[in-house]
Amino acid sequence: MAKSTVEVLIEGGTATPGPPLGPALGPFGINMMQVVEEINKKTADFSGMKVPVKVTIDAATKEFEIEIGTPPTTALIMDELGIEKASQDPGLEKIADLSIDQSLKVARMKFDSLLANDYKHAVKEIMGTCVSMGITVDGKDPREAQKIVDAGEYDDILVETE
């Protein structure tokens, strides 16, 4: 029999055998607690956020594979800063300030789905998102912060991470 895929949206780190997982996976007869434990382990960093989860089941062998998506970059930034929503007018209204360490943390969470091939460029992508959200980076316009990253000022933090 072919593999089946179930896609659900789960609160990070708090999956349970109940809905939405239980009803979706029940008919396959796999060990639900193993699935829940693995999902919770993989989504622990995203606690408090909805995370897309894809469970691929081989019905013949009862083996499963779990793929965790990541929340949108904007959601990760807002969670890191503890804000509810981005600026209505990002060109004029700056609503928060993201430190370089916080932008690196978001870049680590999102790294697999970013186009960057190292953390220096991943952090620059995160800073680019800050432009459209009305968020400064280390007290500066995100575009200025990107130039500073290019100049190598944060290399000690960004290069040792790789």
Residue 1 has pLDDT above 70, yes or no: no
Provide the pLDDT for residue 160: 63
User: At which of 52, 68, 84 does a domain end?
Assistant: 68
Name which residue leads in pLDDT, 60 or 78. 78
Q: Is residue 57 located within the same domain as residue 82?
A: no
Provide the pLDDT for residue 136: 97
For residue 55, the domain's CATH number is 3.30.1550.10
Average pLDDT over residues 2-20: 89
Question: Which pTM was predicted?
Answer: 0.69
Residue 162 has pLDDT above 60, yes or no: no
Name which residue leads in pLDDT, 46 or 104. 104
- Would you call 5 helix, strand, or coil by DSSP? strand
For residue 82, the domain's CATH number is 1.10.10.250
The CA distance from 38 to 148, in Å, is 40
Residue 158 has pLDDT above 90, yes or no: no
Name which residue leads in pLDDT, 37 or 158. 37
Q: Is residue 52 located within the same domain as residue 80?
A: no
User: At which of 41, 68, 95 does a domain end?
Assistant: 68
Q: Is residue 47 located within the same domain as residue 99?
A: no
Domain that holds residue 124: 73-161
Closest CA to 62 of 109, 114, 125, 4: 4
Q: Is residue 79 located within the same domain as residue 151?
A: yes
Provide the pLDDT for residue 96: 96
Closest CA to 91 of 47, 138, 131, 119: 131
Q: Is residue 79 located within the same domain as residue 137?
A: yes
Q: Is the dihedral of CA 34, 39, 42, 47 positive or negative?
A: negative
How many domains would you assign to the chain?
2
Q: Is residue 157 located within the same domain as residue 77?
A: yes
Q: For the range 61-67, what are the long-range contacts, defined as Cβ-Cβ under 8 Å and sequence gap of 24 or more?
A: 62/28, 62/29, 62/30, 62/31, 64/30, 64/34, 64/35, 66/35, 66/38, 66/39, 66/42
Provide the pLDDT for residue 150: 95
Provide the pLDDT for residue 112: 85
Residue 161 has pLDDT above 80, yes or no: no
Count the Cβ atoms, other than its own, within 10 Å of residue 107. Answer: 25
Q: Is residue 31 located within the same domain as residue 81?
A: no
Q: Is residue 82 located within the same domain as residue 125?
A: yes
Phi, psi (rounded to 5 degrees) for 120: -60, -45
Q: Is residue 95 located within the same domain as residue 146?
A: yes
Q: Is residue 19 located within the same domain as residue 59?
A: yes
**Using one digit for the tens of pLDDT, what is the confidence trace for 93-144?**
999 999 999 999 999 988 988 999 999 999 999 999 999 999 999 999 999 9
Residue 56 has pLDDT above 60, yes or no: yes
What angle do helix axes 119-133 and 100-110 make, rounded to 10 degrees?
Answer: 110
